[in-house]
Amino acid sequence: MNGDELRSFLLTNNTKQATEWDAIKKAFNPETVEINGEQVYVFDMIFDLTVTPIEDPIGISQQLPTAYVPMHIHHYIELIYVYQGQCTIVMQNGKMTISEGEIIIIDKRTPHAVEGISESDIVIDIKLKHDYLSSSFLSRFTHKSIISQFLVDSLINNRRVNNYLHFPFENRSNIAGIMEHIMCEYFEKDFCSADMINSYLFILFTELIRHSNNSNSIKPVDTKQDDIVLEFLKYIEDHYKDCSLTKMASHYNYHPNYASSVLKKATGKSFKDLLQIQRLNKAALYLTNSDLPVAEIAEKVGYTSLSFFYKKFNDIFLQTPKEYRENKL
């Protein structure tokens, strides 16, 4: 299936008659639970009587214009993507309209419903059995960058507070192409389609993290403070070899104590800790991508004492530089 075939497939689907809500209730007999004083249904399936509850790592379906499902929750994370047009997401604290190219990720056990889909709107629903927004999964993105680690932590904290993440991408963003590939593989499965989908999902969440600091919907309330933190982290990444707190603070016309406090509050780490992490991450890259001697690598990343470099490297990676290089071969 290619992009044109996918569009034709989705347009044809949109003309189908959805299963009536009474039939869904009768077939699945969903239980209800009370959340924040409201009774909501519990569903871990696609709302189509021809589809069984999710057995694969993901389940993808199309929200039909004629479908109706009241407030409900899932035990899985749900990703809603507007392929064309728009739709309205109903949450317990209000409504949100998302438009073409945008994504909303709704956390587990978060009451919600989808409404306002017309015949010209195409809305895609993806239920994720694996938690692609867990700390353990997202740590795969952060191995060599203190900035990406900060963005991931911000993403996780925002999800924890709001129970959803909204990514207001435009339809011409990279997200559209990634989502198209995922749907093509899912709706017309071929050899290794499951592996392809998992790979595209990794790319998708990488793209979400890359753009998370550009989205007003997922920024912390103190946007100015967040921008300052990113500037500090960028400075450390760019000047890790000879960086100092005094130099960095002076570069931005701040007092060193203020810069130190901002970094500690935002990241939970001191300036020295962040500098060590960045230097050691660079050293790890040299170890895996060059034949340079360890002593030369230590010097290149800003260490004057080889024994101190060995100690700090072992503290972070729990192995010597030599062991790290051998294990990565």
pLDDT of the residue at 89: 93
List, for the chain, all residue ranges whose pLDDT scores fall below the cut of 50: 47-55, 216-222
222: left (phi over 0), alpha (psi -120 to 50) or beta: beta
CA 136 to chain centre: 12
pLDDT of the residue at 173: 73
Is the dihedral angle over the CA atoms 10, 129, 150, 136 positive or is it negative? negative
The helix/strand/coil state of 284 is helix
pLDDT tens digits for range 50-69? 444 444 667 888 888 888 88
pLDDT of the residue at 311: 93
Domain ranges, ordered by start, for the chain: 3-214, 223-328
Which amino acid, 27?
A
Q: pTM for the full model?
A: 0.67
pLDDT of the residue at 162: 63
Superfamily of domain 3-214: Regulatory protein AraC (2.60.120.280)
The helix/strand/coil state of 154 is helix
Those residues whose C-beta lies under 8 Å from the C-beta of residue 251, and which sit 6 or more positions away, are 235
181's enclosing H/E stretch is helix 174-187
pLDDT of the residue at 131: 62
pLDDT of the residue at 48: 46
pLDDT of the residue at 195: 86
230's enclosing H/E stretch is helix 223-238
> Residue 294 and residue 286: Cα distance in Å, rounded?
9
pLDDT tens digits for range 135-177? 556 556 555 667 766 766 666 666 666 678 888 876 567 889 9
DSSP state for residue 50 in the 8-state scheme: T
Torsions phi, psi of 82, nearest 5? -90, 105
pLDDT tens digits for range 249-274? 999 999 999 999 999 888 888 999 99
pLDDT of the residue at 53: 42
In terms of CATH architecture, what is 223-328?
Answer: Orthogonal Bundle (1.10)
Torsions phi, psi of 20, nearest 5? -65, 150
Given a contact cutoff of 8 angstroms between Cβ atoms, the answer to whether 124 and 62 are in contact is: yes
